[in-house]
Structure 1
């Protein structure tokens, strides 16, 4: 009795997996120039924040270049 339930569950899961594999993947959205600028500015802000955090830390040594 339990085996029949498990078998039905396995058949259901296998068919569901096949269905998901057959689905068409999403269309990739091309990035506009403004999106690229926004991404670059976010990365730059993050880099500045990390640099300031390290520079303000009392544990780090500063080097004169």
Structure 2
């Protein structure tokens, strides 16, 4: 059960996407939102900037 908690939490923190987290644990986005939604980053602009920086660094 621990992996089932760690994986969606990590994905939400990295991507902010309930859908991607739900794919990882084979559940619905609604269930992921209810169980793990508190881990969603509040500052989505900062999350977007972080992702863009990673993309530019990889290029």
Give the TM-score taking structure 1 as reference length: 0.26
The answer to which structure, 1 or 2, has the higher relative contact order (CA under 8 A, 6+ apart) is 2
Give the TM-score taking structure 2 as reference length: 0.28
Q: Which has the larger radius of gyration?
A: 1
